[in-house]
Structure 1
Amino acid sequence: MLLTLLSPSILLKQTSSTKLCAANSDSPKSLVVASGHDAYSNVSPPLLPPELIEAIIDEVGSHGDTRTLRSCSLVASTFVFRAQSHIFKTVDLDKEQPRKRNHERFHRLLASNPRLGMHVRNIRIGDDAEDEYGERGGGRFDMGGGKSWITQSKTIRHTLGSLPRLQSFSLTFNSEWTNWETDIPSSTRQALERVFSLNTLRAVSLEFVTAFPANLLKSLLANLSFVGLSCVEIGSGNSLRLPEQIHASPKSLYLRGTSPDTIQVVTQALTASSSASTLKKLAITPTFESGFGNAIAQLMQEAGPDIEEFEWLPSIHFCSSVGSIDISVIQRLQSLKFVVSFRRTHAHGPFPEAIRLLSQLYQAQRADTSRPDHLERITIECHCLRTMDAKTLKAEWHAIDKVLGRPGVFKALKELKIELPTSTSSTELIHGFMLAFQDALPMTQEKGVMISVKSKTVVDERFLADGFGTL
């Protein structure tokens, strides 16, 4: 009740007869709330405790209300530090174009006020995309002929050096790929490696990097809780060795378009870790490279006995196969997620690989009735919906219903979530799907599984891995 009465939105709407001012400009310990008539009287005005001010600002910060936070920072000196700690907690330089200009603005801000870097916990840095001509090339019609602004920047190393308390770091190069050893200046590489060695760092996401040093990747896997690799190729070169301080082996690992050689290095790093922590979540977007399935199968066999969440996230544009991957080796699986596409180019329908993975669990449970059954949640993310009536939709989903609804298996299953991203299906198709989906899975419903169908807004289609908060 007190927080409601003293919320910043109310404090900022005080009339001219009431003003907020610092009791002592040299001390952030208290705030004077004085009326226009009594501000300079001999009567001591009441004080707002600093703990209450912090609680109010933290409440606004928890809702991500940046506009109000900025207003709070202008109210009084006692508001500034706490408000800025929320405003600058997450800095996304990969969100708006041109990204090079966004970085330059942020760099100038840090140069003028270095203490702001102490507030930054999460940062995401991205290259300008190939089609953003005029920023990366020589002329207006240079469609991607220019080089990465990140590799050419003279200031990015200073920006990174001003962020000593980072917890998560995301770095995305453009789709032309960037060679770690030859394309990135040594000073920038050293700045990146200093970020990787921060004791506060817990999560790293990398995209479109070749010749990434194997020992550097192993150090990240040994020290971080989350690692996301999208199109990252391992090189033979060595990099600056990081301190042998083991925080935790990764609890969450996302591999998208990653080569078999890179996956083998990941497996070696995970199995060699002396940390008591183990891999809990594994998300895979497969490639068509020979040996990919075998590399993932080996990773799951050797480094994933305690995996609780598994996500199979293939491209929605191409058919893919799980190959030799067998999720039945995961004994403690609690959550399972599939991405499926209803594109007409998928001749065998959207579900062959999802059914194949589910059948692996089904067969394992049938073969060993004493096998633990922990699977509680299944999520199916559906893309590129097609128009169909309820009867046709029910027929298409019958294979899923048949696997999940069989008696004696999937007894721990409590929830089945159907997600419909708005980025790949129109509002009309999503609405029609929701209407037609009623009673599409009768056998699964009969087992008491809660089925939900919801639309999902995807605001950023560039590489964005779970675990990065608002990044």
Structure 2
Amino acid sequence: MKTLKALLLKRRSSASSTPGTTARMVVVMTQPTLPSELIEAIIEEVGAKDDITTLKQCALVSKDFVYEAQKVLFRKIDLDRRLPRKKYYQRFHRLLSASPHIGEYVRELHLGDGGEEDFGTDESWITTAKSLPATLQLLPRVEDFSLSFNAELTSWKSLPADLRSSLSALFRRPALQRVALEFITRFPPQLLMALGQVRTLSLSCVEVDALGAVAVDAEYRARWTMRLENLFLRGTSPATIRVIAGALAGARTPTLRRLALTPTFEEGFADAASELITRSGEDLETLEWLPSIHFSASSGTINLALLQQLRTLRFSVSFRKSHVHGPFPEVLRLLDALTGAAPRSPVTHIEIDCHCVRVQSGIGAVWRPLDEMLARAAFAGLAELRVRMCTTTTSAGERACFVEAFQDLLPLLESRGGTRIVLETRTDLPVWCGKE
């Protein structure tokens, strides 16, 4: 990297020298430039290291470097994390208006409000930015888009009409691959169904317009070609889930491979989730049940017996005292359904995220039901059990104690053999591995 910076500074120094003083100077200035493939490789290498300073220097070296550097510099525009958000948006819009070609380079766009600069106000910069529709039109190649109203739930109907129109057009672009929406109410169900054409959809606290949802009939559903492969639902209303399930039901060939659910306490959530799983077809390969660490939630009527292609299960469990029945009741309920569906469960990998871990007397009794469940013959094909401790919810002292205790918590599964048992922190650094 130091060598690259030295080369760049040397080229800038040569370019800034007074021209025409000697014949030799003219020869140096007119030497052939580097091949475009080499320039692209240099820029990509710098971009992979996220070295923004060097990328900016690259953009100043010569016209041969500037476009390749801009492609990396403007590949991702995140207007959700940098504060104040409104100021950074306005700066980006002015740059985009002056140099529209930059819009061709943007592949990721993240919009969010509700940060520290918005506290105490009633307005969102997203809803008040009159130039935002024009900005979206200048970004024709966006593949990854997120819209988050971080402060509070915001009604889709409260957005300006021209902004709703621009967002709707964006959601229907064939180039769009990934969409994340957060804290939105009264979202049009027809537009939600149109998002079934992206590869990855993430909804957090998104509620559809209930009256509009009723009006979505089977004929309307049949118009959409589903491409959805990854679906993440966090705190999403049952009505929203049913709209997605309806879209999957109308799809000629279900494509969903991965489904992650963070349940709510709303009536009908488990039934809606069960319908979604049923409608997803038999091709679902990964299911994640990720309830809140503060409150336990029931999986209710969810049955995994139909998922014959299921290979990976991921669970989130909490050892907080508020979970009076322990951390594993819903995990055991979901696993039990798999043991009765077929002589052998198709699941090969199970991941368990452990929060608020506490090592106390009787910890073996807490883990024994899970050990007995996974030691059943139905889980003989289980290749790996991966247990993660979350470093943000468990102290270093508790983690150290748990590492020592964990070696004796799954004796039946370990003695059966054939299953690799891994304990790690959320930094994905294994700290203990059992026998295979």
Say whether the fold is shared (TM-score over 0.5).
Answer: yes
- Secondary structure at 2:378 match in 1: coil
Residue of 156, 175, 178 corresponding to 1:203: 178
- Secondary structure at 2:173 match in 1: coil
Quick check: 1:158 aligned with 2:127? no
- Secondary structure at 2:379 match in 1: coil
- Match of 1:375? 347
Question: AA paired with 1:360?
Answer: A
Whether the 8 Å CA contact 1:297–1:324 is kept in 2: the answer is yes
Residue of 116, 122, 146 corresponding to 1:146: 122
Quick check: 1:283 aligned with 2:257? no
Deviations for 1:311-366, whole angstroms, at most 9, x for unmatched residues? 0010111111101111222111011100111111111111111111111112223x
Whether the 8 Å CA contact 1:9–1:68 is kept in 2: the answer is no
- Match of 1:120? 106
Once structures 1 and 2 are overlaid, which stretch shifts more, 227-236 or 419-428?
419-428
Quote the offset at 1:51 in angstroms: 0.9
Question: AA paired with 1:450?
Answer: R
Residue of 133, 149, 163 corresponding to 1:188: 163
Residue of 366, 384, 406 corresponding to 1:437: 406
Quote the offset at 1:171 in angstroms: 0.6
- Secondary structure at 1:347 match in 2: coil
Question: AA paired with 2:99?
Answer: N
Aligned-pair identity (%): 42
Quick check: 1:48 aligned with 2:34? yes
Quote the offset at 1:20 in angstroms: 6.1
Could you tell me how far apart the structure 1 residues matched to 2:426 and 2:383 are? Answer: 21
Could you tell me how far apart the structure 2 residues matched to 1:175 and 1:56 are? Answer: 41
Q: TM-score, structure 1 length as denominator?
A: 0.80
Question: What does residue range 73-152 of structure 1 map to in structure 2 within 5 Å?
Answer: 73-129=59-115, 132=116, 135-136=117-118, 142=120, 146-152=122-128
Once structures 1 and 2 are overlaid, which stretch shifts more, 110-119 or 323-332?
110-119
Larger relative contact order (C-alpha < 8 A, sep ≥ 6)?
Answer: 1
Residue of 200, 207, 211 corresponding to 1:226: 200
Deviations for 1:151-206, whole angstroms, at most 9, x for unmatched residues? 1221222222221101111111135311112x101011111112112221011111
- Secondary structure at 1:12 match in 2: helix
Residue of 264, 275, 278 corresponding to 1:298: 275
Once structures 1 and 2 are overlaid, which stretch shifts more, 150-159 or 314-323?
150-159
Could you tell me how far apart the structure 2 residues matched to 1:245 and 1:85 are? Answer: 36
- Secondary structure at 2:283 match in 1: coil
Could you tell me how far apart the structure 1 residues matched to 2:328 and 2:48 are? Answer: 39
Residue of 347, 371, 375 corresponding to 1:401: 371
The Cα RMSD (Å) is: 2.9
- For structure 1, the 5+ residue unaligned runs are 1-7, 24-35, 459-471
Whether the 8 Å CA contact 1:423–1:457 is kept in 2: the answer is no
Whether the 8 Å CA contact 1:179–1:211 is kept in 2: the answer is yes
C-alpha change, 1:9 and 1:155, in structure 2 (3 Å) is farther
Could you tell me how far apart the structure 2 residues matched to 1:444 and 1:38 are? Answer: 77
Quote the offset at 1:71 in angstroms: 3.0
Could you tell me how far apart the structure 2 residues matched to 1:218 and 1:41 are? Answer: 62
- Number of residues of Structure 1 aligned to a counterpart in Structure 2: 414
Could you tell me how far apart the structure 2 residues matched to 1:15 and 1:68 are? Answer: 9
Question: What does residue range 335-354 of structure 1 map to in structure 2 within 5 Å?
Answer: 335-354=312-331
C-alpha change, 1:64 and 1:19, in structure 2 (3 Å) is closer
Could you tell me how far apart the structure 2 residues matched to 1:331 and 1:452 are? Answer: 25
Quote the offset at 1:39 in angstroms: 4.7
Structure holding more helix per residue: 2
Deviations for 1:260-306, whole angstroms, at most 9, x for unmatched residues? 211111111111123x4511111111111111111111111122321
Quote the offset at 1:435 in angstroms: 3.3
Whether the 8 Å CA contact 2:257–2:283 is kept in 1: the answer is yes
Question: What does residue range 304-323 of structure 1 map to in structure 2 within 5 Å?
Answer: 304-323=281-300
Deviations for 1:104-154, whole angstroms, at most 9, x for unmatched residues? 23223322322222111111111214xx3xx436xxxx3xx5132211221
Question: AA paired with 1:441?
Answer: L
Question: What does residue range 216-295 of structure 1 map to in structure 2 within 5 Å?
Answer: 216-221=191-196, 223-235=197-209, 236-237=211-212, 248-274=226-252, 276=253, 278-295=255-272
Quote the offset at 1:394 in angstroms: 3.5
Quote the offset at 1:47 in angstroms: 5.0
Residue of 10, 29, 50 corresponding to 2:3: 10
Could you tell me how far apart the structure 1 residues matched to 2:135 and 2:402 are? Answer: 47
Could you tell me how far apart the structure 1 residues matched to 2:288 and 2:44 are? Answer: 34
Could you tell me how far apart the structure 1 residues matched to 2:83 and 2:355 are? Answer: 27
Q: TM-score, structure 2 length as denominator?
A: 0.86
- Match of 1:455? 425
C-alpha change, 1:246 and 1:71, in structure 2 (3 Å) is farther
- Secondary structure at 1:205 match in 2: strand
- For structure 2, the 5+ residue unaligned runs are 16-21, 429-436
Question: AA paired with 2:75?
Answer: K
Could you tell me how far apart the structure 2 residues matched to 1:42 and 1:56 are? Answer: 22
C-alpha change, 1:357 and 1:237, in structure 2 (3 Å) is closer
- Match of 1:215? 190
- Secondary structure at 2:187 match in 1: strand
Could you tell me how far apart the structure 2 residues matched to 1:187 and 1:313 are? Answer: 37
Whether the 8 Å CA contact 1:404–1:410 is kept in 2: the answer is yes
C-alpha change, 1:339 and 1:80, in structure 2 (3 Å) is same
Could you tell me how far apart the structure 2 residues matched to 1:422 and 1:104 are? Answer: 38
